[in-house]
Amino acid sequence: MMRICFVCSGNICRSPSAEIVLRSLLVREGLTDEVEVCSAGIGDWHVGEGPDRRSASALSARGYDSSRHRARQWERDWFPDHDLVVAMDESHVRDLARMAGPAHIDKIRLFTSFGPDATHEDVPDPYYGGPDGFTHVLDVIEVGCRALLDDVRHRLPA
């Protein structure tokens, strides 16, 4: 089984949204027995909390259920258990790289680095803005998760 973890700052906006969207795609494609997905934050500010209400609202408006999400913090010793650690912005890539060491550095990828239309840009942090920022982030995440899913299909055994 391939294991993927999305990582953002506090695990209440971007990374849980990506986890929920990708999980939905995996269900639709019948790949839940082959790919496991989770999310975490770099910091511990929100551990145990549900998603930001604005993020939950944006997800709900598109038919996603975020009610079971609880924030958690990425732990250095999780690297061996994951095949891909997907960072939502470059600061997360740097933080994860410091934790990873040489054995796991190749597992870290920027979220927007997948697919033929890869931008290699940060997924913007909507936390300090209004609801429109969360809708925009969900747009970016839905596109990015489809590109990531195409990449995952190529990594899975035939």
Active-site annotation, residues? 8, 14, 125
Question: Dihedrals φ, ψ of 85, to 5°?
Answer: -120, 110
113-132 burial, b at 16+ Cβ within 10 Å, e below that, comes to bbeeeeeeebbebbbeeeee
